[in-house]
Structure 1
Amino acid sequence: MSILLRDLRLPEEYTALAELLNTHGSEPTTAERLREDDSELYEVGHTYLDENGLLAGYDRTRKVAVTEQDKIVGYINSWRAPWTEPGYLNNILIVAEDYRRQGIGQLLLQHAAGWGEKMGADTLVTEIWDDSPESLHFAKRSGFAIERHAFQSVLTLDKVDLESAFDYELFDRLAQDGIRFITLAEEPDDEGEQKLYRLYEETLKDIPGYTGEVPVFDQWRKWYLMAEGYSPEQVLLAVHDGKHVGVSNVLYNPLTNGMYHEYTSVARAYRGRKIALGLKMKAILLAKERNAAYLRTDNDSLNEPILRINRRLGYEALRGSYRLIAKVTDVRG
């Protein structure tokens, strides 16, 4: 079979791309969402070598693998954002199941590695599902190694027994300490977002497996706070003396009627007081109010405090993912 690597033809191929991505992702996307995301990205990248000789800046390359009939059967997206760890390139590589073991994955990977090599990147990063041994075999054979292991957990909301799982008195105890729970919608837009950004600045790097820099405010607002499914009413906050000391940003996906914990954190000085548990409980109550089907989350294997809270509240483990890294020189061979 003859396979050709070429650029995406947009906008006409957004639908085909969404279909391929939906064979891999944990939450479905749409052609409209892909088009919207592209409209918010830079048109021309800008990369450079920093003072340590490591790749910095932002850029991306996207290619599709097509058959002789011009059917899309593979996809590579290799990119870095301004806050990506110096020297690193992030990658999404997908090959349609019926077309695997035919060299398409290697063709796509070599494009990403070659592109990165020309720019001065030294490390490629990607993720695969932990229940796909053939993907892991391909990755290891191509020079990748497992760096971290993360887990998905899901709470099916029609099975939740709030009376047995919830400690409703927790909210009263926290209130006695001056900690109250509100949503971002209850605060002035700019002031509330600025206070929330300061909490992210403090806590992002505490997440096991987090790499790179904290995005500047405008980039954080676009890509972290206002991710797909965002609503200020779904950004749950723990507040003390006017300061944001905890957050759980919960996203809604109308395609599945599901909700997703995009980010949950507590300021360092306030940890150990069960504020994270309170935020998780508030998220469940919110999801029940919205008649959502489920709540889903992803957590690093080393984030035991959050994993323990999830188990207590009845979350069930799903498949996880491996974070893989490889030196560009090893991939190039």
Structure 2
Amino acid sequence: MSSDPSVTVHRLRPDASEDCEAFARIREEALPFILMTGEALAHDLLHSPPEAHYEPLLARVDGEAVGSAQVGLVHDSPQPGQAYLNIYVRPSHEGRGAGTALVRAAEKRLREVGARDVYSWVLDTPANRAFAERRGYRPGRSAHFLRLDLTEGSLPPLQSAPPGVEVIPGTDFVSDPRPLFALDAETMADEPSDIDYELTDYESWLRGTWNHPLTSKELTSVVLVEGRPAAFTMVRTNSGTRYGTMMTGTARAYRGRGLAKLAKNDSLHRARAAGFTEALTGNDDGNGPMLAINKWFGYEICGTEVHHVRAFG
């Protein structure tokens, strides 16, 4: 896939465990704010819907794995042709052609599957932004990565649920997670984003979210109001001591009552009790309510990305 003989780019296969692990290590080094493992990547490859055209790419320089790209169509958007291309190269190997080769291979593939607009998250550094803009990508909205040290004992006290409200773990939904799917779909539709999402495929959600190898049903917290799911925080963990919230939200009818904060507080306290030492999350810069909640918990911004877009002519 590359014209430079010292740089090679190839597609990952779910059965290529060494390549999947290499991809995960690159992401961990270049973007240590999002949990990823080789097992999780293989799962995503196996269970991604065909219409998503999901295709992770791995770049090697002189045989060494140094760059990664996540490539595909946003299949759950009502707008056809929306695509994504997110590239990360090991910091010690930037400037050696891996990023350029990945862009070239990824854009070729996206054109083949009908992409119209390609969105890319770019780390907010002068070098990364210049790399994207030289290739025709225009900057837009920003998003922040946030981190909380769970070893410092600085969590706000565990809150008691008000009358008629109950907080339960995600494991209570193992036999029937559909209510959580409905809650996730409603909150995702209202997330600030350049792309509209419509989460409608329950079976795909089961495979890609609920039964994902990193999803922790035990540490996921759900708030019930008079027995109905009203707010939640969905959690992922790795095999070590890192914990991440992938979505926290409240159904529209229950907003403004502090229920998302109640869910996240419950989950964070249980995570710390279970031995997790680091909590990670991310928020769009325009998501003021969630940024305020995370600031209340003590999260601090540890990185920023800028969403770029390129329209294919």
Matched, 1:183 2:183: no
Deviation at 1:287, TM superposition (A): 1.4
Q: CA RMSD, aligned part only?
A: 2.4
Task: After TM superposition, list the pairs within 5 Å mapping 1:155-304 onto structure 2.
Answer: 155-162=148-155, 165-166=156-157, 168=159, 171-172=160-161, 174-175=162-163, 178-187=164-173, 189-190=175-176, 193-209=177-193, 211-255=196-240, 257-304=241-288
Alignment of 1:80-159 (within 5 A): 80-84=73-77, 85-130=79-124, 132-159=125-152
Taking a change above 3 Å as real, the CA distance of residues 186 and 323 of structure 1, as seen in their structure-2 partners, is same
**AA paired with 1:3?**
S
Instruction: Give the corresponding residue for 2:303.
Output: 319
CA contact (8 A) 2:40 2:214 kept: no
Aligned pair in 2 of structure 1 residues 220, 297: CA closer, same or farther (>3 Å)? same
**Secondary structure of 1:180's aligned partner:** strand
2:290 counterpart residue number: 306
Q: What percent of counterpart residues are identical?
A: 22
**1:71 counterpart = 2:64:** yes
Match of 1:7 among 7, 10, 29: 10
SS of 1:245's equivalent?
A: strand
Aligned to 1:39: 46
Tell me which structure has the larger Cα radius of gyration: 1
Note the residue ranges of structure 1 that are not aligned, 5 or more in a row.
Answer: 46-56
Counterpart of 2:271 in structure 1: which amino acid? A
Aligned length: 304
Separation of aligned partners in 1, 2:208 and 2:295? 29
Kept in 2, the 8 Å contact 1:3–1:104? The answer is no
- CA deviations on 1:99-139 (whole Å, 9 max, x unpaired) are 43344423321222222223321111111222x22011110
Letter in 2 for 1:114: K
**Counterpart of 2:52 in 1: which secondary structure?**
strand
TM-score, normalising length: structure 2: 0.86
Alpha-carbon distance between aligned partners in 2 of 1:104 and 1:214, rounded to the nearest angstrom: 34
Tell me how far apart the structure 1 counterparts of residues 268 and 243 of structure 2 sit (CA, whole Å): 10
Q: 1:66 to 1:185 in 2, by over 3 A?
A: closer
Q: Which runs of 5+ in 2 are unaligned?
A: none
Would the alpha carbon gap of residues 151 and 75 (structure 1) be closer, same or farther in structure 2, given more than 3 Å must change? closer
Query: What is the Cα deviation at residue 79 of structure 1?
Result: 1.0
Q: Distance in 2 between matches of 1:264 and 1:28?
A: 16
> Aligned to 1:155, what secondary structure does the other structure show?
strand
